[in-house]
Amino acid sequence: MSVVRAPSSTGNRLGAAESLWDNGDFKAAFDSVNEGLQEHPEDFALQSFKGFILGRSGYGQAALQEHLRALVRGQQSALCWMNYGDTLLMLGELARACEAFERALILNPLASKALSELILCHQYLGEISPADLEALHRLWAARFLPLPSSPYWDLDRDPERRLRVGYLSPDFRAHSVARFLEPLLKAHDPLQVELHAYSTSSPQDATTERMKRQVQSFQEVAGLSDEALTERIRKDRIDILVELGGHNSGGRLGVVARQAAPIQIFWLGYPGTTGIETFYGRFTDSVVDPEGTLTFGPEKPLKLPDGFHCFLPDPTAPEISAPPMLEQGSPTFVSFNALRKHTPRLLETWTVLLRQVPAAKLLLKTQGLGDPMVQERIHHHFAEAGVNPARVEMYAFSPDPSEHLAWYQRADVALDTFPYNGVTTTCEALWMGLPVVTLYGDRPAGRECASLLTQAGHPEWIARSPVEYVELAKSLVSEPAWLAAQRARQRNELSLTPLLDAARFSRAVETVYRQAWREWCLR
């Protein structure tokens, strides 16, 4: 990777490094920051961004050291606190991350990213009520988005014509979102919809190239402002716009607020509401949003009959092996979910499980777990609760998909996280033959695994309380012969379920598109 030469000022240097990072040139971004710090060692903004890069690259302890150095001079910098909070969030230090984002908002009440990150923290932590969480989303929309207008769209109001559908996402690349978006793009009926992709991130790879071939047009729009992108989408005469980023990095909710298309739908990349009233609705199902429960947010629930996910398994996934407990004589539980999903309540539940199954091991593997500081913190939790920390094994994330999936061969049963569930990790564990135990939560982020298990034909693996979660996990490892038989047949069975039926899923999605379009044409 090439290194960009330092601009004349540290402000330009920071902007150049951020641009390199956004374009996926991570080494060049890091080198550019280091060059800037050699020339201006007192620049706390550069120091803070160095911490951000280290944190996102899996070097948590080094990242925190850089952030603390930056905060010595940048105590009054909202940016420093935001970057510090980002690293804490990546490391699973949720309460401290919330405090950092709150400090950033005190220093700069107009820091929209800080409020988005604070909302994310509360999504993961789950300690505020669903109503309060919804109120935070609405507050963000009211504070940072323009008021809804009455735009004019010069579109043919034929209710039965072929529809121009735009997908707006930062994840047209090797990413968990693409594992669900790609099968839909491929299965869409070209007689019903004409597909347009708007990519809000710069990095591209083989997944990007495949997805480009599945759409009529593919546009890189990361550098466009919300206003310019809104005009681009209107000029392209998009009938239905689907936004997949939400409050995650690369989300373009400002475009939705400006009503780039007459019908706008939210899907996939973020759980639950966005707080924005200009969405026609959000894709969901009767598991995540059951009848008779409160609706989360202003978006209308668009309930697909067989679930709102369709998974594309990795073609390099290794074959399914026998449960290791057959040879070892004791079970191994596994979770590959991100550190930010490891809440105190979850760790306490896992602790109870390990105490009740004294011979069992817990295998954790995700980004950041290679850091000794993180390992020490998690081991300390289990030791304090009377569980030998040697029974909890931790490993860093494997970037190679085949190698990553092969780690499932070392475990018997997968444990979902709560109150924020795993989605891709759930599907991967199922594809590798493992049962997945989940806890049905009180908000959309805590019900997505239950939705996936229902699609996969295994609602019996859904617990309704932490006690039931533990009992269910214990029961699944109590019959090794049954576990081996289930593991051997699970991939074939999964292939026949709605979770992998892209044709069925695309017809359900297109039905919603057509109904929404007919409604708009009659206005």
Residues 99, 174: one domain? Answer: no
Would the pLDDT of 203 be above 80?
yes
- Please check whether residue 156 lies inside any domain of the structure: no
- Please check whether residue 151 lies inside any domain of the structure: no
Residues 252, 282: one domain? Answer: yes
CATH classification at residue 291: 3.40.50.11380
For the whole prediction, is pTM greater than 0.85?
yes
pLDDT in tens, 389-437: 999 999 998 889 999 999 999 999 999 999 999 999 999 999 999 999 9
pLDDT in tens, 235-291: 999 999 999 999 988 899 999 999 999 999 999 989 999 999 999 999 999 999 998
Q: Is the dihedral of CA 505, 295, 340, 393 positive or negative?
A: negative
- Please check whether residue 5 lies inside any domain of the structure: no
pLDDT in tens, 462-484: 999 999 999 999 999 999 999 99
- Please check whether residue 16 lies inside any domain of the structure: yes
- Please check whether residue 154 lies inside any domain of the structure: no
Residues 483, 511: one domain? Answer: no
- Taking the CA of residue 450 as centre, how many other CA atoms within 13 Å lie in the half-sphere pointing to its CB? 23
CATH classification at residue 16: 1.25.40.10
Residues 366, 411: one domain? Answer: yes
Contact 194, 155 (CB under 8 A): no
Q: What is the pLDDT of residue 515?
A: 98
| Stretch (H or E) spanning 303 | strand 300-303
- Please check whether residue 55 lies inside any domain of the structure: yes
- Please check whether residue 470 lies inside any domain of the structure: yes
Residues 487, 363: one domain? Answer: yes
Residues 345, 488: one domain? Answer: yes
DSSP 8-state secondary structure symbol assigned to residue 295: P
Given phi > 0 = left and psi -120 to 50 = alpha, else beta, which region is 275?
A: left
Residues 34, 121: one domain? Answer: yes
Residues 496, 371: one domain? Answer: yes
Residues 351, 486: one domain? Answer: yes
Residues 281, 394: one domain? Answer: no
Residues 129, 185: one domain? Answer: no
Range of the domain at 236: 163-310+502-521
CATH classification at residue 452: 3.40.50.2000
Under the banding of pLDDT at 50, 70 and 90, the label for residue 15 is: confident
Per-residue pLDDT averaged across 319-335, rounded? 96
Would the pLDDT of 7 be above 70?
no
- Please check whether residue 36 lies inside any domain of the structure: yes
Under the banding of pLDDT at 50, 70 and 90, the label for residue 171 is: very high
Number of domains in the chain: 3
Contact 279, 298 (CB under 8 A): yes
Structure tokens at 416: 């979902």
% of the chain with per-residue pLDDT over 70: 98
Residues 373, 488: one domain? Answer: yes
For the stretch 407-411, contacts whose Cβ atoms lie closer than 8 Å and that sit 24 or more positions apart, written own/partner, are 407/334, 407/336, 407/363, 407/365, 408/334, 408/432, 408/433, 408/434, 409/318, 409/320, 409/321, 409/324, 410/324, 410/332, 410/334, 410/363, 411/324, 411/332, 411/333, 411/334, 411/363
pLDDT in tens, 499-521: 999 999 999 999 999 999 999 99
Q: What is the pLDDT of residue 150?
A: 79
Would the pLDDT of 5 be above 70?
no
